[in-house]
Structure 1
Amino acid sequence: MDQFAELSNNIYDSGIIKEGLTSPTSLILSLMVTMIPKIVPRLMPKMMTKMYPGVSVSRFDDVNYVHSVEDMFRDKFAQNIMVVVDILDEEKYGIKKARFGQEGQLAKIIKTALHSLNIDIRQFDSDRLAELAELVNGRSARAEMYNLIGDMVLAVFQTIGSIFVGNPY
């Protein structure tokens, strides 16, 4: 397709970038939201051994550990973002949703923090957060691109870290 674009001088849009999502802050935020589930499973073994020196870290040596924890964290992170989206929609449209357990506690913390800071959340657009939740969950059209960029950034930092600090694994 690239050769055809060069011959015809046409630019083909694959629909990956939507209008309004090309600002640098939204790109950086999208990359950060994608990288958080990748970074946490890699840092958790180091934090656990520093905080609790006698804890067994054998489960961290499993090859599938990083991927399974990354998937679990990604799902929970997307759920928590959707709770915030629901809270924003509740305040905007006046429709209340009953929540129980951890989701109810998180919603109570968020509502209390927003009300104590005197933030009027009716002016916020929940569509952007819903798009971030889809990006985190991998359902967005841009998810593969950001995952690839995130993997590349992690590989670069792991290489640099192994040069200066030694082999981290």
Structure 2
Amino acid sequence: MVPGHSEWKRNLLLVGFMGAGKTTLGGILSKRCRLDFVDTDQLITEQFGLSVADIFSRYGENAFRVAETELLRNLAARCRHSVIATGGGMVLKDENWRVMRQIGPVVFLRADEQELVERLSSATGRPLADDSDREAILERYRQRLPCYLRADLVVETKNQAPLEVVDAILGGLERVNPKWLF
């Protein structure tokens, strides 16, 4: 935690479509603010001992979504002073939104559609993107967009260097709620 900001007792959650940069930016943001970093997809893969693609293949998407919700509940109970990068589908369940709001402010990393398609055009290990064509990826993104827009803060990432996005997150959070100082 950044010295002088003792009122920051919560966490910060990053949401966005797969390939939006949640893990990359979350790592940079956590270092900059001296907060812990949590990646929900990584924790779930460790729990199952399988990749996300293998979890989907072996147990189905629903099992993965159930694990996401259980993980969120656990994070709400024990996680403090952390940047949490969520999986791209975490926003699909209303229950997850209730828990995320308990955990801390939610920031939507809004990436450009063309950038997302380019990032997801080759094999990525993401079961909902691999073997999907451009239109299928965009359709999934557009279906999820209203869920992402429920975030406390929307940060555009197009043509932004990672440090610029981090600055936009920090400045935006302070404007939304001055108690969210870093």
Higher helix residue share = 1
Higher strand residue share = 2
For the superposition of Structure 1 and Structure 2, which TM-score range results when normalised by the shorter chain? under 0.3
State TM-score, norm by structure 2.
Answer: 0.25
State TM-score, norm by structure 1.
Answer: 0.26
Give the structure with higher Rg (CA): 1
